[in-house]
């Protein structure tokens, strides 16, 4: 696995028709079946036509409640290719200089920002000023200060800000959350999150501090941070961290290679996590309680996710994560639906505050208190 974005998807004919367990809070059969959908449809423009933008676009082809309506890119050839492939009209195509004009385009409801982290703040604020809802890929920004500015801008413009937390709609993940909420695992004691892979091209933007905001932590470590929060069901109150760097050429100053970090929670539960760009085969969550346990491995890849608990294997069928995500986000934006696990700007801000604290703890060697 060279990159977390290189996971292979398996799209089967049955995927669109399957039903999640109702008690997991996921999409219903009506939303994912072949029955004609009669409700509101979210018309989305994708900003950033790279590998993940392409993955989202493909997944949206089977959405019921969301539609790919426009594109925003700095590469004219990509715009032409997407126009042809997805039948996107010229009037819904923009570049990074002129996309503020979406303000006058009634055919676009929301913009999904899938660009390097360092561009998120400015682009989301511009989307908000244009009066469109913003969906931003994670991490939402480079730090908590930027994240708060994005939230404030969207509130001022009276538009919604959502973050691309696809795992918040994944059925096996939601089943473990249900079990924990229903007390089936007993008091939660411990969470382990392992997130990492060996990164390739040393010249890519993910290893550029200005564009990425760091290294592995911003790209893959955020999964363990977010996972610890939704698996334990509490917000951490302290963090400790230690950084290890073996390659100072590839991982320059401010670009983390490997960080081990620990989170403490009000109930006394603790989390022990690893974020790295130098080790493969690290995609595992483990939750331990007084009455049982739950494990996901792989836990955050593009699928299928595999899981088991003390009661046995989790057998929920796989469906493309981004398809479910975009349909569910349509419901949140257009119908006011409330997801089991939040995906709003405030959720993204909490992760950024924790990341800021992890970097500080790793730098100082001291425990850092958290107030989320």
Are both 55 and 179 inside the same structural domain? no
Give residue 33's pLDDT.
53
Is the confidence at residue 28, as pLDDT, over 80?
no
Question: Virtual CA dihedral for 111, 301, 219, 74, nearest 10 degrees?
Answer: -40
- The angle, 0 to 180 degrees and rounded to 10, between the axes of the packed helices 171-181 and 222-232 is 40
User: Running DSSP on this structure, what letter comes out for residue 23?
Assistant: G
Residues facing 194 on adjacent strands: 274, 284
Distances (CA, A) of 293 to 254, 285, 305: 36, 11, 17
Identify the domain containing residue 217 by its residue range. 170-317+345-369
Q: How confident is the model at residue 23 (pLDDT cuts 50, 70, 90)?
A: very low
Domain boundary among 132, 166, 200: 166
- Give me the catalytic one of 138, 160, 350, 353: 138
Reply yes or no on whether the pLDDT at 19 is more than 90.
no
pLDDT of residue 36: 86
**What is the per-residue pLDDT across 213-261, written as a single tens digit (0 to 9) for each?**
999 999 999 999 999 999 999 999 999 999 999 999 999 999 999 999 9
Determine the Cα–Cα distance for residues 280 and 1; give it in Å rounded to an integer: 7
Residue 127, pLDDT > 80, answer yes
Instruction: Answer with the one of 166, 201, 220 that is the final residue of a domain.
Output: 166
What is the pLDDT confidence band of residue 8, given thresholds at 50, 70 and 90? very low
pLDDT, position 15: 37
Catalytic residue, from 52, 223, 277, 302: name it. Answer: 223
Examine the domain organization and report whether 264 and 349 are in the same domain.
yes
Nearest to 356 by CA among 217, 156, 245, 157: 217
Question: How many independent structural domains does the chain possess?
Answer: 2
Q: Which two tokens stand for residue 317?
A: 């069928």
Find out whether 294 and 179 touch, Cβ atoms under 8 Å: yes
Please return the burial class of 129, using the count of CB atoms within 10 Å of its CB with bins 0-12, 13-18 and 19+.
middle
Confidence at residue 303, expressed as pLDDT on a 0 to 100 scale: 87
What is this structure's pTM? 0.91
**Least confidently predicted of 20-34, 49-63, 183-197:** 20-34
Q: Is the peptide bond before 304 cis (omega within 30 degrees of 0)?
A: yes
| End position of a domain, from candidates 110, 139, 166 | 166
Strand arrangement, sheet containing 307-309: 312-314, 307-309, 293-296, 282-289, 188-196, 270-276, 258-264, 238-244, 368-369
Is 158 inside any structural domain? yes
Angle at 238 between CA 236 and CA 244, to 5 degrees: 110
The reply to whether 237 and 120 lie within a common domain is: no
Instruction: Kindly state whether residues 271 and 149 are assigned to the same domain.
Output: no
The answer to the question of residue 325 being in a domain is no
Both 150 and 196 in one domain: the answer is: no
Q: Tell me whether residue 138 is one of the annotated catalytic residues.
A: yes
CATH code for position 32: 3.40.50.720
Q: What CATH number has the domain bearing residue 229?
A: 3.30.360.10
> Does the annotation mark 96 as catalytic?
no
> Degrees (nearest 5) of the Cα angle 342, 343, 344?
100
The pLDDT tens digits of the residues spanning 347-366 come to 999 999 999 999 999 999 99
Over range 275-294, report the average pLDDT: 98
């Amino acid at each position: 696995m060279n990159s977390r974005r290189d996971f292979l998807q398996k799209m089967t004919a049955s995927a669109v028709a399957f039903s999640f367990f109702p008690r997991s809070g996921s999409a219903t059969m009506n939303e994912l079946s072949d029955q004609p959908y009669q409700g509101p449809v979210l018309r989305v423009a994708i900003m950033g036509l790279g590998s993940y933008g392409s993955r989202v676009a493909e997944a949206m082809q089977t959405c019921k409640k969301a539609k790919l309506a426009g594109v925003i890119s700095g590469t004219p050839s990509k715009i032409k290719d997407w126009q042809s492939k997805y039948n996107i009209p010229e009037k819904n195509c923009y570049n990074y200089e002129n996309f503020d004009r979406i303000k006058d385009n009634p055919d676009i409801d929301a913009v999904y920002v899938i660009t390097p982290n360092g561009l998120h703040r400015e682009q989301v604020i511009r989307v908000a000023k244009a009066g469109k809802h913003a969906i931003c890929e994670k991490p939402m920004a480079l730090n908590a200060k930027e994240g708060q500015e994005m939230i404030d801008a969207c509130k001022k413009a009276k538009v919604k800000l959502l973050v691309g937390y696809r795992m918040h709609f994944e059925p096996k993940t939601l089943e473990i959350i249900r079990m924990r909420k229903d007390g089936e695992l007993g008091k939660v004691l411990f969470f382990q999150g392992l997130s990492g892979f060996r990164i390739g091209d040393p010249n890519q933007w993910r290893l550029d501090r200005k564009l990425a905001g760091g290294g592995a932590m911003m790209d893959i470590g955020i999964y363990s941070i977010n996972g610890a929060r939704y698996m334990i069901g509490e917000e951490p109150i302290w963090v400790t961290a230690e950084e290890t760097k073996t390659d100072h050429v590839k991982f320059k100053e401010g670009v983390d290679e490997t960080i081990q970090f620990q989170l403490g929670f009000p109930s006394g539960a603790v989390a022990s996590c690893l974020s790295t760009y130098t080790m493969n085969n690290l995609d595992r969550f483990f939750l331990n309680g007084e009455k049982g346990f739950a494990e996901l491995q792989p836990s955050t890849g593009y699928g299928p996710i595999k899981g088991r608990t003390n009661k046995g294997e989790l057998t929920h069928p796989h469906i493309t994560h981004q398809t479910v995500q975009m349909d569910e986000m349509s419901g949140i934006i257009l119908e006011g639906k409330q997801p089991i696990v939040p995906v709003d700007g405030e959720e993204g801000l909490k992760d950024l505050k924790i990341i800021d604290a992890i970097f500080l703890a790793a730098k100082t060697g001291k425990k850092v208190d958290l107030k989320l």
